[in-house]
Amino acid sequence: MSFAEINGLTIEYLRIAGAANQPTLLMLHEGLGSVTMWRDFPQKLAAATACSVFVYSRLAYGASEPLPEGRNVRKPDFMHVEAWETLPALRKALGLEQVVLFGHSDGGSIALLHAARHAVDGVIVMAPHVRVEKVSITSIEAAKVAYETTDLRARLAKYHDDVDGAFWGWNDIWLSPDFRGWNIEAELPNIKAPVLAMQGENDEYGTMYQIEEIQQRKPGTRILRIPSCGHSPHRDQPDQVLALTQSFLGTLPQRQTDKAA
């Protein structure tokens, strides 16, 4: 694992080399994710696509720098800040110019927000959020109970140096009354890059509205409903996600130019 200082704060990242003429797949993790919580999926993604893969842990996740001590430290615009301040600084510092964003859940929302303001070659999102739904709140409330009463904390501690900071930083803001009105739908028409949006038919954190709204606001978006799949398509149906990713990458202008050459 490697580390970089971004805006005066330390983050961990993993870079997997790919073919020189291919874009970098920049992976953005879910609300409780990290570099290591992707497990071996980044390696599978690199092998399947021949692309370089870059994955990092946001602040308070994995081995990245923790948030300040205490509860309720995140603000409702935390995904906007990640997309419009931290990620641009990260890309500049580490030379990530030609990228296809690959985001899951909160990471999918961050990918969409970033692509609305910054140049990318493509956007792939799994189970993204574009607004807060009741089903999301219900499942996040259930996660809070599980964290306090089951072995969930111990299981998450394998992936986060500051497990309490990671969990409560996510859980507190999502359950905050101030977050109920969070919504990024108005930013979606500003995305210029092609978009692929996937969602499991059994997603416990969101309905199909989330990806259908992306298609409604950005015509041409390719949406896919994945059967026998919950909130994490890359875990529940990894082969299908890899195949869909390969297919989508083949439609991007850069890939088509390479094939023609």
Residue 26: strand pairing partners: 54, 101
C-beta separation of 194 from 220 below 8 A: yes
Distance CA 1, CA 86 (A): 19
Residue-by-residue pLDDT tens, the chain, 261 positions: 899 999 889 999 999 999 988 999 999 999 999 999 999 999 999 999 999 999 999 999 999 999 877 677 899 999 999 999 999 999 999 999 999 999 999 999 999 999 999 999 999 999 999 999 999 999 999 999 999 999 999 999 999 999 999 999 999 999 999 999 999 999 999 999 999 999 999 999 999 999 999 999 999 999 999 999 999 999 999 999 999 999 999 999 865 444 444
Asked if residue 223 lies in contact with residue 214, where contact means CB atoms within 8 angstroms, the answer is: yes
Sheet with 195-200, side-by-side order of all strands: 2-6, 9-16, 52-56, 24-28, 99-104, 122-126, 195-200, 222-226
Query: Which amino acid appears at position 87 of this protein?
Result: L
Single out the residue of 90, 83, 95, 179 nearest to residue 132, CA to CA.
Answer: 179
The pLDDT, as a whole number, for residue 261 is 40
Domain 2-260 fold is: Rossmann fold (3.40.50)
The per-type count for the chain, helices as H runs and strands as E runs, is: 11, 8
CA angle in degrees (0–180, nearest 5) for 151-132-218: 125
pLDDT at 254: 64
pTM here is 0.95
